[in-house]
Amino acid sequence: MKNLYGKLNNNDGKTILMALFLLLIAVVVSVVIITAASTAAHQLNDNREAQQAYLTVSSAAEFFRDEIEDRKYEHVLKKYTRQNNRYPSLSDYEHTDKPAGRFSSVLTDIAESVKENTLSDSGSVYKETVIGIDSPGITDDSFSGFDEVNVKIYIQVQSVSNDTSYYNMDITFEVSGDSKEESGYKMTLNIPITKAVSNTVGSNQIYVSGRYYWYTVDETVTAVTFGSGTISKGAGQ
């Protein structure tokens, strides 16, 4: 009986069990700390990527806005009709003032599509391109060290008339990054477009081959104006 009580009250082995228990707690705490540190590091990296994406996209949108808004395209067409068949004929006169700035070519293409009423009313992509520090025509220092940006231009017809027509242009910007924090960030630049057409008909004396002749002059002026831009988060289309 004494031997039985002795075995039941024997403390040998409890120290080992306690040590194992404390070791288990230490391991669990260590894993929790490492996991938390790793999660914080990933979160910090994600925040940096998101901030970089924001800076890249917002800089691109602001750059486009400053280069496009308040630009103007103007086309002048004069047709001459002689008031006497004995007068010499005159060829039509055409002159175009293209928009200034780095995007003159793109804006001229858009303006001429507006002038000729050849734009689709479906709101489909008018032009798509990718810009970056090495892109042709893009030499602005604000893109230094930034990722490339996908740019899409959408144009929708609002209303069309013989005198004044209205259009809406949305330009979307999205970073072409590898992570969801980079690739998911978008901004939209909205710019209204107005086309104004004026026509005047009058009689003028024009000097031709050493003398003046009377001609009827039919003059049409088409002005396409890109209005002030508004930048918003997300995609406009």
Query: Could you say which DSSP state residue 162 is in?
Result: S
Report which DSSP code applies to 143: G
* CA–CA separation, 158 and 67 (whole Å): 23
Q: Quick one: pLDDT at residue 221?
A: 97
Domain ranges for the chain: 47-233
Whole-angstrom CA distances from 215 to 28, 79, 90, 152 are 98, 10, 9, 47
Q: In whole angstroms, give the CA distance from residue 205 to residue 229.
A: 44
Q: pLDDT tens per residue, the chain (237 residues)?
A: 555 445 445 555 567 767 776 777 877 777 777 776 666 555 555 556 667 777 888 888 888 899 899 999 999 999 999 999 989 999 999 999 999 988 888 899 899 989 988 876 655 556 655 555 444 444 444 444 456 778 888 888 888 888 999 999 998 888 865 544 444 678 899 999 999 999 999 999 999 989 999 999 999 999 999 999 999 887 655
Q: How far is CA 219 from CA 79, 81, 89, 111, 204, in A?
A: 6, 11, 17, 19, 12
Phi, psi for residue 66 in degrees, rounded to 5 = -65, -30
The string of DSSP codes covering 188-217 is EEEEEEEEEEEEEEEEEEEEETTEEEEEEE
| Phi, psi (rounded to 5 degrees) for 34 | -65, -45
Contact, 70 vs 227, CB < 8 A? yes
Say if residues 145 and 133 touch (Cβ distance below 8 Å). Answer: yes
Work out the number of other CB atoms within 10 angstroms of the CB of residue 232. Answer: 13
Max CA separation in the chain (angstroms): 147
Q: What's the confidence (pLDDT) of residue 97?
A: 96
